[in-house]
Amino acid sequence: MLSTRVECHKNIDFHSFLSDHGITQIGTNTYSVHTKENKQISTVTTHIDKNIIVFTFLESLKLSEYEQIHHLICLLAEEFEGVIDDTESQLGYLENGEPAFIIKNWAQWTMLLNEAKYKTLEGKMVDILNENGDELGSGMLVDYKFDLSIDQTSIITECTIVTMLGERTYSGNPLVVKAGNQW
């Protein structure tokens, strides 16, 4: 199990904050973080007397699940002037061999993973969706551009595909690129 600790320097109502962000209480000082599909991805333990919250989570989550945990930790730290200790939550390594954690080196790590993911889709059939899930087009992936969102998550902002009618470039913030199976 991985864990990240947030020591808050502002007096806070842990229960209200966690409840407001969809985190369910499962015990006296224990909460559960779930995905939209209702999969539990993290346990949150509060130490009210010390103003500390500890997030524990598995080492084998999907990137989107790590993104959800990363986002919650950042929100908590920002809201309550928290100091984050993520030394027990190493997720992988950067190209230069430096370790990447749920907070430290997060942006570089997610960028590296996404670059590898989309590199494997080059020349393959993909569907391009907008942020609402509406399909914009489908075709063979030719090119794409990344950027960092406000919460330091890498997103695709431009994508070029070849369709039966020629080359098309889509722009948006963010675009979703999924492997497709139709021509």
pLDDT in tens, 30-64: 999 999 899 999 999 988 778 899 999 999 999 98
Asked whether residue 18 falls in the same domain as residue 83, the answer is yes
- Decide which of 89, 104, 119 is a domain's last residue: 104
Asked whether residue 18 falls in the same domain as residue 84, the answer is yes
Asked whether residue 17 falls in the same domain as residue 97, the answer is yes
Tokens standing for 35? 């995905």
What is the pTM assigned to this prediction? 0.82
Tokens 């199990």 belong to 1
Q: For residue 19, give the 3-state DSSP assignment.
A: helix
Asked whether residue 99 falls in the same domain as residue 49, the answer is yes
Asked whether residue 71 falls in the same domain as residue 152, the answer is no
CATH of the domain at 66: 3.30.1400.10
- Decide which of 44, 78, 104 is a domain's last residue: 104
Asked whether residue 123 falls in the same domain as residue 171, the answer is yes
Q: How far is CA 19 from CA 30, 31, 97, 127, 179, in A?
A: 12, 9, 38, 36, 35
Asked whether residue 140 falls in the same domain as residue 74, the answer is no
What letter does residue 79 receive in the DSSP assignment? H
Asked whether residue 61 falls in the same domain as residue 139, the answer is no
Angle at 152 between CA 149 and CA 158, to 5 degrees: 35
CATH of the domain at 139: 2.30.30
Asked whether residue 174 falls in the same domain as residue 96, the answer is no
Structural domain count of the chain: 2
Q: Which domain holds residue 48?
A: 2-104
Asked whether residue 17 falls in the same domain as residue 96, the answer is yes
Q: For 125-140, what is each residue's pLDDT tens digit?
A: 999 999 888 999 999 9
- Decide which of 50, 72, 104 is a domain's last residue: 104
Q: What is the pLDDT of residue 16?
A: 86
Q: Dihedral sign for Cα 35, 40, 45, 48, please.
A: positive
Asked whether residue 39 falls in the same domain as residue 90, the answer is yes
Considering the chain, what is the average pLDDT of its residues? Answer: 90
Asked whether residue 79 falls in the same domain as residue 149, the answer is no
**Low-confidence stretches of the chain (pLDDT beneath 70):** 151-152, 182-183
Q: What is the pLDDT of residue 135?
A: 92
Q: What is the pLDDT of residue 59?
A: 93
Is residue 81 a contact partner of residue 9, using CB atoms and an 8 Å limit? yes
Q: What is the pLDDT of residue 15?
A: 82
Q: What is the pLDDT of residue 151?
A: 66
